[in-house]
Amino acid sequence: MKLSRRNFLKGTALGGAGLLIKTPARAKFFRPRPNFIFILSDDHRWDYLSCAGHPFLKTSALDRLAKEGVRFTNAFVTTSLCSPSRASFLTGQYVHNHRITRNGSLVGRLPRTFLELLQSAGYRTGFVGKWHIGGFKVPQPKGVDYLVTFISQGLYYNCPLIVQGKQVKSKKYITEELTDYAIKFLEQARGSQPFFLYLSHKAVHAPFQPPEELKDLFQDQPIPLPPETEAKGLHPLFSFPHFPRVPSNEQLREVIRNYCATIYKMDLEISRLLQALEQMGLKDNTVVIYASDNGYLWGEHRLVDKRWAYEESIRIPFLVRAPGIVRNPGREIDELVLNIDLAPTVLELAGISPPKSIQGKSFAPLLREKSFKWREDFLYEYFYDEYYNVPPMLAVRTRDWKYIRYRYHLRAEELYYLKEDPKEQNNLASAPEYQEQKQRLSQRLEQLLKETRFKS
């Protein structure tokens, strides 16, 4: 029997028994479907969380998600740059397939996103915040019922917002404003049909600007820098986004303090959102996921920003609270999880079969503690961007090793044994005793390129 959208919504509102849903892939029976909130931050590296051991930054709301759910301790992006990574979250595809290769560009149409699939299956969808795919055009994402967004990076204060197609002047600090709209969506969406809220914060993108009341929060906090930067300062040969010139070590410390205070404020607003969810009686049937679009280098390898294949750049926080789905909450999961895994995971939990175009893997079995074969390595890629002095690169990262190959031979190969050298200080690529290992990883890189249908 073909189920009309009207009859589907009526059935959903009448109690939530198992339903036969015609998804874009195939029909499937399931119990009442969960709601979802996906919170995406910007440039938040994996270890700037108190639950990840940060020495002074307190992130109580994110710690709560980890305690009541799971924390993936080895989560990564396949390209460490805003627009490419965001498109990978939405499509479940590597950058070389969705072709959003750099910020500010959009070649053709963004491939079908999981938001479109959820909407087609009866979910009410909301997108609040930073879209940042397609340059300086007004965002017009498909598959979204409720849209609050802004052009490009936005502003921390006085950010012109676009609310359901109309321009509205921002009245508050942007993290507060976006949280207000997110709560408004929850109030409108509850009770009628399952919902998916995609809350995409501007925070913590540069220029790192905490609200006025928190600007001195960490003013007296000592900020140790990586030894290589403490000794030599930042590398003078590479571009430094958002800095007029190469910053001194003391200037860098001040920027890091602002970065931490901006994260702290975002965490306060996430706490407010979680409280609203609980007060509305939605907590027990809502999956909450938190991640960042990439990490950030703060002096490691004498670099700032992202893009590079080093750990601080590609590694992200990834937290999932899923009542009734996560077994033994409070666990840490050390499997290699990627940004392209979000789409298939959400679709599986929603009872929708992922289309063949998705290249990620659902980590839902990991949430349930099911034993099955998971990935042993993954491909990292970064494409040419004429505005930045960062060479295009490819890399393969296993549980213990990383091999980096710079395209067009712009830099020498790099090989790191992460188990003994987690800070990637000792490049083994030219060491005679590691040539066999380098060859194995080089061959595996070629295999991954073939498996993922890489086209340069």
- Is residue 2 included in any domain, yes or no? no
pLDDT at residue 134, as a whole number:
74
Stated as kind and residue range, the H or E segment containing 268 is: helix 249-279
Q: Each residue of 77-117: pLDDT tens digit?
A: 999 999 999 999 999 999 999 988 888 765 556 889 999 99
Same domain, 209 and 284: yes
Stated as kind and residue range, the H or E segment containing 148 is: strand 146-150
Same domain, 356 and 456: no
Same domain, 438 and 294: no
Residue 214 maps to which CATH number?
3.40.720.10
DSSP, res 345: H
The answer to whether residue 394 scores a pLDDT higher than 90 is: yes
Q: Each residue of 366-383: pLDDT tens digit?
A: 999 998 899 999 999 999
Same domain, 336 and 453: no
Same domain, 354 and 397: no
* Beta bridge mates, 29: 20
Same domain, 211 and 140: yes
- Is residue 91 included in any domain, yes or no? yes
The answer to whether residue 16 scores a pLDDT higher than 60 is: no
Number of domains in the chain: 2
Pairing of strands 75-76, 337-338: parallel
- Taking the alpha carbons at both ends of the chain, their separation in whole angstroms is 45
Domain that holds residue 356: 33-372
Contacts of 267 (CB under 8 A, 6+ apart): 58, 59, 60, 61, 62
pTM of the predicted structure, to 2 decimals: 0.92
Instruction: Tell me if the bond preceding 323 is cis, omega within 30° of 0.
Output: no
- Is residue 7 included in any domain, yes or no? no
Same domain, 228 and 302: yes
How confident is the prediction for the chain on average, in pLDDT? 90
Stated as kind and residue range, the H or E segment containing 260 is: helix 249-279
Among 343, 372, 401, give the residue marking a domain's end.
372
- Is residue 69 included in any domain, yes or no? yes
Among 337, 372, 407, give the residue marking a domain's end.
372
- Is residue 120 included in any domain, yes or no? yes
Same domain, 318 and 195: yes
**How far is Cα 424 from Cα 35, in angstroms, rounded to an integer?**
40
Q: Each residue of 174-228: pLDDT tens digit?
A: 999 999 999 999 999 988 799 999 999 999 999 999 999 999 999 999 999 999 9
- Is residue 23 included in any domain, yes or no? no
**How far is Cα 75 from Cα 319, in angstroms, rounded to an integer?**
10
Same domain, 210 and 244: yes
Same domain, 278 and 322: yes
Given pLDDT bands bounded at 50, 70 and 90, which one contains residue 31? low
Same domain, 193 and 259: yes
- Is residue 408 included in any domain, yes or no? yes
Beta strands in 8-123 (DSSP E): 19-22, 27-30, 35-41, 70-72, 75-76
State the greatest distance between any 2 C-alpha atoms of the chain, in Å, as a whole number: 71
Same domain, 297 and 418: no
